[in-house]
Amino acid sequence: MLGARAGLFATAADCRYRCNRKMPKTFFITTAIDYTNSPPHIGHAYEKVLADVIARYHRLKGDKVFFLTGVDQHGQKVQQSAAKAGIPPAEFVKEITQKFVDLWKKLGVKYDEWAETTSNRHKKVVQGILQRLFDAGQIYKDKQAGYYSVRQEQFLTDKERGPDGEFGPEWGQVEFREEENYYFKLGQHKEWLLRYLDSRKEAVIPEFRQTELRNAVEKLSGDLCISRPKSRLAWGIELPFDKDFVNYVWFDALTNYISFAGYNPAADSYDKEPEEFRDRWPALQIIGKDILVPAHGIYWLIMLHAMGFSDEQMPQLLVHGWWNLGGAKMSKSAGNVVDPFVLSEKYSAEALRYYLMSEMATGSDADFSEQRVVVRYNADLANSLGNLLNRTLNMAARYKDGRLELPEGEWLQNPDQGPNESYAQEIGKKVESYKSHISVARTLPLTFPITIGPYVVNAAIGNILAIADQGNALVETAAPWKLAKASDEASKKRLNSVLYSLAETLRITAILISPVLPKAAHGIFDQLNWKTELSGKEERFSLADAEWGRLPDGHVVGKPVPLFPRIES
Ligand code: MSP
């Protein structure tokens, strides 16, 4: 039988190639790449931590993951900020880029590839794509005259005028301009985009964002200007077919999603793309609500379509809301940006990760409050989870010298012997609910349209807390301190069962929380004396292990060390 199988392949290499192709595809996840005109703020931190949590969850599931993030270094905004600072743009972006890199390190954002749009690797792909689209007649030269927003780097039409006939403050400085430029035939693909959105239910998550996008596509008219004369903007990628122009910043920035994933613009069909790229693409792309329309929902999808990507090869867009401050938009000019470095120094990186992930319902907006960082941490981590860890290990040490005894039958499943479902079954249900919130699509009642869809990380965290609460409730109802005093056989058995169940509860909780709080999850495992040989390594946690009853008979847990000391404000 084995021999017959091996015979199917001409050579070992052939076998490896074909066998590999049958392996599950890589889970590819991206974020927006941040402008390097000013240092990172809390909004940038939220998006990257969200992507990191989803990436870590997939690694926990055993998936091969490719997580791409980076920085957007070209464009007028950067050129202007550099000029203001009195240093060349290349030097300016280097400094700001370093701040982003430092922040991701501090916050434990663990990416696989880092995108910088000034890199040669990226430039080559952008130029290759431009040339192909130009050769295919998708790009043409034309003259335009009109009002131009310097801040948004685009020409404005009458549609952008407010009721008073003026261009609103969101456009910043507006001036009259006339210039020749290159255009991408965006309008030509409008019907295709409408058909695509109608045929794919979760092209954009949450659902209401897909509706918003579709409505915007209906109104789409005209083409996209993709160049700037060098005389006006020097800080960009030169057009391969006209050296007097540089590429418009969005076209350049969007291309990062494929240029850093191994895409080859010279391949004449998708099938001829490098294996590495086809194994990764398409991606789950995390972006903020401000860059869905038109950038990702229209420009990007149409760019891919024009390049020859099929409907099945379109990325899925996960759109998150915005962090506001006192109900107002955060912006550098308003001087109300929240600095993630300061917060993570003050409260710890994990306290900040926890706040960002638990406080914002994925998809909707939230108001940032430093006070809530403390409240959340104290209530959920110090009180609920930290307390469960502390009392479990204390009681195990005091009553059993830390030694757990594997209870049997009904005792293993139901230490509280309540009338309802067994304790273990209830935990199992919460684990399933966690999984479905964090990655599988669900249908919710229409009254909560905002929470429909997968990747509802805050709800998954709610499931973890519910598990910790169940453990704390067991302590209260079973009162192990009373059982320890009693001398009858049934009380002894019950005490063993309760302590074992609490340790199991903690073990499972640590696995589930590991994508959000990797350090704390290691802390719990360390104190449980569990998988110590893998201490500090991500492989220590696996979703398959989040099943009841894995701690062996006679396992000795460690002494408690406060993992989440209360923050006194
Ligand atoms: N450079 C472009 C994106 C190019 S992607 C090919 C850009 N940069 S940005 O720095 O302005 O924004 C980067 C990401 O941060 C965007 O997804 C944006 O929505 C997000 N956020 C910026 N401010 C935010 C908040 N206040 N809250 C949450 N996210 C926010 O756009």
Using one digit for the tens of pLDDT, what is the confidence trace for 250-284?
999 999 999 999 999 999 999 999 999 999 999 99
Each residue of 309-365: pLDDT tens digit?
999 999 999 999 999 998 898 887 788 899 999 999 999 999 999 999 999 998 899
User: In ligand 1, which atom is closest to the CA atom of 32?
Assistant: 5
The rounded distance, in Å, linking the Cα atoms of 407 and 549 is 9
Residue type, 397: A
Q: In angstroms, rounded to a whole number, what is the distance separating the alpha carbons of residues 148 and 449? A: 37
Q: How far apart are alpha carbons 287 and 278 in whole angstroms?
A: 22
Please choose, from the candidates 37, 66, 34, 67, the residue with its C-alpha nearest in 3D space to the C-alpha of residue 50. 67
Q: Atom 22 of ligand 1 has which residue's CA nearest to it?
A: 43
Cβ atoms < 10 Å from Cβ of 295: 15
- Distance from C-alpha of 303 to C-alpha of 309, rounded to nearest angstrom: 9
pLDDT at residue 409, as a whole number: 87
Q: If you ran DSSP here, which 8-state letter would residue 175 be given?
A: E
The model's pLDDT over 373-396, given as tens digits with 9 standing for 90+, comes to: 999 999 999 999 999 999 999 999
Looking at residue 411, its pLDDT comes to 86
Tokens, residue 551: 């701690």
C-alpha–C-alpha distance, residues 255 and 180, integer Å:
24
Most ligand 1 atoms within 8 A of CB, residue of 34, 93, 355 to mutate: 34
- At residue 63, the pLDDT reads 96
Q: Which helix (H) or strand (E) holds 176?
A: strand 174-184
The per-residue pLDDT for range 510-555, each reduced to its tens digit, is 999 999 999 999 999 999 999 999 999 999 999 999 999 999 999 9
Q: Which of 14-18, 145-149, 270-274, 366-370 has the lowest mean pLDDT?
A: 14-18
Q: Is 392 helix (H, G, I), strand (E, B) or coil?
A: helix
pLDDT at 410: 85
d(CA 470, CA 392): 13
Q: Which of 214, 188, 198, 236 is nearest to 294 (CA)?
A: 214
Tokens of 344: 């993570």
Q: Is the pLDDT of residue 5 over 50?
A: no
Instruction: Reply yes or no on whether the pLDDT at 3 is more than 50.
Output: no
User: How far away, in angstroms, is 95 Cα from ligand 1 center?
Assistant: 19
The span from the CA of 506 to the CA of 464, in Å, is 10
Nearest residue by C-alpha to atom 19 in ligand 1: 288
**pLDDT, tens digit, for every residue of 163-222?**
999 999 989 999 998 999 999 999 999 999 999 999 998 999 999 999 999 999 999 999
pLDDT (0 to 100) of residue 447: 46
Output the pLDDT for position 451.
43
Bond preceding residue 88 cis, omega within 30 of 0: no
Neighbours of 481 (CB within 10 A): 12
CA distance 442 to 462: 16
Q: How far is the CA of 133 from the centre of ligand 1 (A)?
A: 28
Distances (CA, A) of 435 to 232, 292, 440, 548: 51, 27, 7, 16
Dihedral-angle region of residue 326 (phi above 0 means left; psi in -120 to 50 means alpha; beta otherwise): left
Q: Measured between alpha carbons, how far is 484 from 396 in angstroms, rounded to an integer?
A: 11
Paired residues of 324 in beta bridges: 329, 367
What confidence tens digit (pLDDT) does each residue in 421-460 have? 899 999 999 999 999 899 865 444 444 444 445 899 999 9
Average pLDDT over residues 46-56: 98
Task: Tell me the average pLDDT across 54-61.
Answer: 97
Q: By alpha-carbon position, which residue is closest to atom 15 of ligand 1? A: 44
CA of 32 to the centre of ligand 1 (A): 6
Provide residues with CB under 6 Å of ligand 1. 32-35, 43-44, 46-47, 72, 253-254, 256, 287-288, 290-291, 322-323, 330
- Whether the upstream peptide bond of residue 206 has omega within 30° of 0, thus cis, is yes
Task: Confirm if 414 and 423 have CB atoms less than 8 A apart.
Answer: yes
pLDDT at 400 over 70: yes
Confidence of residue 23 (pLDDT cuts 50, 70, 90): low
Chain-wide mean pLDDT for the chain?
A: 92
Position 17 scores a pLDDT of: 35
| CB contact at 8 A, 511 and 477 | no
Q: How many CA atoms lie within 13 A of 267 on its CB side?
A: 16
First to last CA, the chain: 69
- In 222-300, at which residue ranges do the beta strands (DSSP E only) sit? 224-225, 227-229, 238-239, 242-247, 284-288
Share of the chain above pLDDT 90, in %: 81
pLDDT greater than 60 at residue 289? yes
- Cα 220 to averaged position of ligand 1 atoms, centre (Å): 23
Q: How would you classify the pairing of strands 328-329 and 323-325?
A: antiparallel
> Residue with the nearest Cα to atom 16 of ligand 1?
288
- pLDDT > 70: percent of the chain: 93
Helix (H) or strand (E) holding 189: none
Structure tokens at 372: 């809530």
The reported pLDDT for the residue numbered 20 is 44
List for the chain the helix, strand, coil content (%; round to 5).
55, 15, 35
Predicted local confidence at residue 267, as pLDDT: 97
Distance, in Å, from the CA atom of 138 to the CA atom of 129, rounded to the nearest integer, reads 11
CB 71 within 8 A of CB 33: yes
Q: Is it the case that residue 11 has pLDDT exceeding 60?
A: no
Residue indicated by tokens 């190639």: 17
Give, to the nearest 10 degrees, the angle between helix 340-347 and helix 89-107: 30
Return the C-alpha torsion angle 289, 44, 57, 471, nearest 10. Answer: -100
What CA–CA distance (Å, rounded) separates 365 from 458? Answer: 13
CB 115 within 8 A of CB 125: no
The pLDDT score that the predictor gives to residue 453 is 54
Amino acid 334: pLDDT: 81
**Omega prior to 315 cis, within 30 of 0:** no
Task: For ligand 1, atom 6, name the residue with the nearest CA.
Answer: 254
For residues 149 and 60, give the distance between their C-alpha atoms in angstroms, rounded to a whole number: 46
Q: How far is the C-alpha of 300 from the C-alpha of 217, rounded, in Å?
A: 13
Q: What is the whole-number distance in angstroms between the Cα of residue 565 and the centre of ligand 1?
A: 33
